[in-house]
Amino acid sequence: MFNSVSIKIDKRLWSRLKQLSEVAGYSSVDEFVVHALEKEVAAIGETESAEEMREKLKGLGYLK
């Protein structure tokens, strides 16, 4: 694990993560956290698609 780093997190959060990682079938909390963070980072900058927005906004009287 030469390329890994450690971070500190609150114990209560760790307990919650442990619970959720078990429910979701991850082999370890580490694996779960890394996966969750990867997803979160990938999602930054992404919002709903143009089509989804059109669908959402089409009832707004101010727009056509």
Partner 1 sequence: MRLRLLALLVVGPAIAAGCAQDVQPSHDAPSRKMIVLGVDGMDPELLRDYMKQGDMPNAQRLMAYGGFRVLGTSEPPQSPVAWSNFITGLDPGGHGMFDFLALDRNNLLPYLTTSAVVPAEIGPLEIGDWRIPIEGDRVTLLRKGTAFWELLAAADVDVTIVRMPANYPPVPGSGDSLSGMGTPDLRGTSGTFMFFSSDPGFISRDVSGGELRKFGIEGDRLLAAVGGPPNSLRADAPRTSVVLEVIPDPVHDVALIRGGTRERLVKAGEWTDWIGVEFTMVPALAKVAGMVRIHVKSVHPFLEMYVSPVNIDPRSPAQEISAPADYAPMLAGQVGPFYTEEMPEDSKALSAHILSAEEYLDQSGVVLDESRRLLDFELQKFVAKADPAFLFFYFSTIDQRHHMMGRHIDPEHPFFAVNSPPRVRASMTETYRQIDQVLGKILDRVGPQAAVVVMSDHGFARFYRQAHLNAWLKEAGYLVLRDDAAPVSAESEGWLSGIDWSRTRAFSIGLNSLYINVAGRERHGIVPSAERLDLAREIADRLRTWTDAKNGLPVVTSPSLREEIYRGPMLAAAPDIIVGYGDGYRASWATSKGQTAGKLLEDNLDEWSADHCLDPDAAPGVLFSNLAMTSPAPQLTDLTVGILDYFGVRPVQGMRGVTPFAPMEVQRHVQ
Please report, as ranges, the residues that interact with partner 1 according to CB under 8 A: 20, 23-25, 36, 39, 43, 45-50, 53-64
Distance CA 55, CA 7 (A): 41
Q: With respect to partner 1, which residue has the nearer C-beta, 9 or 54?
A: 54
Q: How far is the CB of 30 from partner 1 (least distance, A)?
A: 15
Query: What residue type is assigned to position 49 of the chain?
Result: S
CB 32 within 8 Å of CB 23: no
Q: With respect to partner 1, which residue has the nearer C-beta, 23 or 41?
A: 23
Distance CA 27, CA 29 (A): 7
Q: How far is the CB of 2 from partner 1 (least distance, A)?
A: 29
